[in-house]
Structure 1
Amino acid sequence: MANESDRYPLHKAVFENDLKNLSRLLRKHDVATKDKHECVQLLLKHDAPVKVKNGLGWTVLAEAVSYGNRPTISSLVRKFRQQSREQMEERRPNLVQALNRINDFYMELKWDFQSWVPLVSRILPSDICKIYKSGANIRLDTTLVDFSDMRWERGDISFIFNGNAAPNQSLTVLDNIQKVYQNVKYEESEMEIEDEVDLLMSTDILAAQISTKCISFERMQSGWLFKEDRTELVAGQYESELYRVYGLVLESRKRREHLSTDDLQKNKALLESFTKGGNLQGFDQNGVPVRRSSLSPPPDKNITWDNYVQAETNSYPRLGRDLVYKESSKMFKATIAMVC
């Protein structure tokens, strides 16, 4: 059996910054392969996948933001956009074909978050989404537009997917009150890319997911002494059986080791500026956007390749900055109505 240290020659070459050996190995190795700790360093010229995560659930982009090298972050954002477009174009024919096979329909999806704390309940979102499907086309209507000053701003927004249009013209957003529309572009401008990099470097590194590991379903009942299965009219005409869903957990994690105390104080103003279409850092006297600079590299931890590769899975020594980390989870209950 091969020595543990020899099992990942590509990773070792990257770890030791051995460009000559890395160039040789790239000719015969799969750059998407993971070692037992981390995703392989993004060898972007060889189209390594950007969306992959390490065993702890962090993407390579998250690790790059933590390290703080702006050119690397910018390259990752561009490659992420490129690979996302390619995946959409690859999956698009199957999506259109599936939509054409499904019968046309109209559906209303009501959702809301609730809390026993009165003030919190006021700011939790709720909405009734209306979904229309016709052929290879889908329209989704929603009333939630923005969140500002601890209040959800309401409006009348429609998202329209036209499966028969060209890829860069297939998704349109309508503001039915302002009577304006915008085609969602496939490609971002250089300024939009750099704005996104500023945002990533100025805010928490976030990861969130809905966990369904402990999910369970229970038929809802009505009555005090003599209980019976509960039914209800949905949309005023569909007799439906009601089910309660338990064990739906929203897990969120955030890191901020790349942020200074000054950054944390400025975060709110920066985000407000960005969401209103402004530049995160402002402009200099010549009208050129002032961008976030790369951070100073973290101190060398003097970790050898053998120390790294022989560590327990998901307990590898930190090569970059020490984590400043917080995680939380919130359990939700949901109700599902199924037409009888």
Structure 2
Amino acid sequence: MASDDDSYPLHEAVFQGDVRKLSSLLRSHDVGRKDKHGNTPLHLAVMLGRKECVHLLLAHGAPVKVKNLAGWSPLAEAISYGDRQTISSLVRKLKEQAREQMEERRPNLVNALNQMGDFYMKLKWDFQSWVPLVSRILPSDICYIHKRGSSIRLDTTLVDFNDMRWERGDITFLFNGDRKPSQSLTVLDNKAELYQRVRYEETEVEIEDEVDILMSSDIMAAQMSTKSITFTRAQTGWFFREDKKEMVGSFHSEFYVINGMLLESRKRREHLSEEDLQKNKAIMESFTKGRTQGFDSSEPVRRSSLTPPPECKVTWQEYIQSDCGAHPPLGRELVYKETNKTFKATVAMSPDFPLSVDMLLNVLEVIAPFKHFSKLREFVLMKLPPGFPVKIDIPILPTVTAKITFQEFAFRNDIKSELFEIPSYYEEDPTRFPDL
């Protein structure tokens, strides 16, 4: 018999639809182990439509945010298969696992913030696009960040940045690390004098709304490939070339060109009807003409499950003996498009900036609910040249790049605690920011 290194008993039990055997094996085997194709048992259960196996695996903590060699998660495969109940279960479990991971990291994060000096920081975002019409309507934003103890305050004019829209305003985001999780994150709308606690858990209606959106949109997988990235010193001068050095704000900086930054964007739409495709196309056309409001105003109609794909005729042996990452199709036939865009970006690194990259990562982890800040965090996690990245170009969406400049920074011991409180005259509105 093959050793456990090259046999996959959980995967095989799922393939055979043997729920009893799967239940028994789960006591002694790793529920998140990947096979040679990068699939976990949950990937296979979803692709093959084995609903009982899906529920059993989720009950045993099968990871949902995990990708196979083709770059797809179990949730992506569930959307393709089209069983609404399975998609809902995975969305629910994905959020639960994200909360658990945050809870595990939280004590270390709060501790790191407490050990860091209190500070004030100002940074500027400029959004640009190579699509001319889109470029004209893209926003820019100046953010102010204050940090005191384990509390952070972010003031911004940009509520959030999505594929189809952005919202302007006068927004404050508060994180109070010494409060319990359900009370620690708050967003203030300073114009309307409202506040909303960033909910720790979504309601059933919100989860079902999200399922409707997933079932009617392209399945997207976009990732920045950093495998082939190199940094070279940026040059200046026409005749006598020399390394580019400039002041960014009050910080001496050395400029580098980032070569080989590749945005791999993949989309699937085998689960969409012709009507879905037409509707999505109309939304995109309206978006590129600069109209970003007015969609989804009607009451949503809940999407029904799709008719399942034909029953899979692939045997376990055919699956596991196929070349790595090239197994026979198990679910619906893919309708697939891949685009790769190479970015040539620059980064300015300063040895003078008082904050370290590790400290910045801790701050960014707190404000990750804002999607563009989570992109900045992904970028800073790369192995950068020495110093602190005071000016950066990063891709935010396949068509949109952001230039971020750290304009000011100062450690200060006079930051007042009132900055991190909700004003007493603000009213609570739990629906003010539906995406948070």
TM-score, normalised by the number of residues in structure 2: 0.68
Q: 1:95 to 1:116 in 2, by over 3 A?
A: closer
Distance (whole Å) between structure 2 residues aligned to residue 53 and residue 218 of structure 1: 32
Is the contact made by 1:104 and 1:133 (CA closer than 8 Å) also made in structure 2? yes
Question: What's the counterpart of residue 9 of structure 1?
Answer: 9
Q: Deviations over 1:98-154 (max 9, x none)?
A: 111222333333444545664343245544433332221222333334679988553
Please tell me the root mean square deviation across aligned C-alpha atoms, in Å. Answer: 3.1
1:39 and 2:52 aligned:
no
Question: Alpha carbons of 1:152 and 1:280: their partners in 2 closer, same or farther (altered >3 Å)?
Answer: closer
Tell me, in whole angstroms, the C-alpha distance in 1 between the residues paired with 2:254 and 2:111: 31
Calculate percent identity across the aligned residue pairs.
64
- 1:305 and 2:308 matched: no
Distance 1:33 1:281 in 2: 43
For structure 2, the residue ranges without an aligned partner over 5 or more in a row are 43-53, 287-291, 353-436
In structure 2, the partner of 1:285 is none
Return the match for 2:273 from 248, 256, 260: 260
1:84 aligns with 2:98: yes
2:346 corresponds in structure 1 to: 334
User: CA–CA distance in 1 between the matches of 2:226 and 2:139?
Assistant: 21
Question: 1:68·1:296 contact (CA, 8 Å) conserved in 2?
Answer: yes
Q: CA deviation at 1:339?
A: 4.7
Alpha carbons of 1:339 and 1:208: their partners in 2 closer, same or farther (altered >3 Å)?
same
Instruction: Report the CA distance between 1:203 and its aligned residue.
Output: 0.4
Pick closer, same or farther for the CA change 1:7–1:150 going to 2, 3 Å: closer
Give the structure 1 partner of residue 254 of structure 2: 241
Deviation at 1:316, TM superposition (A): 0.8
SS in 2 for 1:263: helix
Shift of 1:75: 0.6
Report the Cα distance in structure 2 between the residues aligned to 1:308 and 1:201, rounded to whole angstroms: 27
Greater mean deviation of Cα atoms: 299-308 or 238-247: 238-247
User: Which deviates further from its counterpart, 173-182 or 151-160?
Assistant: 151-160
Residue 191 of structure 1: how far off its partner (Å): 0.3
Return the alpha-carbon distance in structure 1 between the equivalents of residues 122 and 208 of structure 2.
38
> How far, CA to CA, are the matches of 2:281 and 2:335 in structure 1?
19
Label 1:277 to 1:132 Cα distance change in 2 as closer, same or farther (>3 A). Answer: farther
The CA distance in 2 between the partners of 1:206 and 1:188, in whole Å, is 22
Q: Pick one of 319, 322, 325 that aligns with 1:314.
A: 325
Deviations 1:229-252 (A, max 9, x none): 4443333x3343333333322221
Tell me the distance in 2 between the aligned counterparts of 1:71 and 1:18: 21
Matches within 5 A, 1:163-312: 163-235=177-249, 237-267=250-280, 282=299, 290-312=301-323
The answer to whether the 8 Å contact 2:253/2:348 transfers is: no
Q: Deviations over 1:3-53 (max 9, x none)?
A: 899822221221121122222222322211222221112411111111122
Correspondence list, 1:139-150, <5 A: 139-145=153-159
C-alpha displacement of 1:331: 2.6
Summarize the Cα distance change of 1:190–1:166 in structure 2 as closer, same or farther, 3 Å threshold: same
Distance 1:339 1:109 in 2: 18
Q: What amino acid does structure 1 have at the position aligned with 2:144? A: K
Structure 2: distance between partners of 1:244 and 1:108:
24
TM-score normalised by the chain length of structure 1: 0.85
Contact 2:154 2:174 in 1 (8 A): yes
- 1:8 and 1:192 map into 2 onto residues whose CA distance is 37
Which ranges in structure 1 are unaligned for 5 or more consecutive residues?
283-288
What is the distance in 2 between the residues matched to 1:293 and 1:51? 24
User: Take 1:328 and 1:244, find their aligned partners in 2: how far apart are those partners?
Assistant: 23
Does the alignment pair 1:129 with 2:143? yes
Q: 1:240 and 1:28 mapped to 2: Cα distance?
A: 54
| 1:100-139 mapped onto 2 (5 Å cutoff) | 100-114=114-128, 118-124=132-138, 126-139=140-153
Structure 1 pair 240–202 and aligned structure 2 pair: CA distance change class (3 A): same
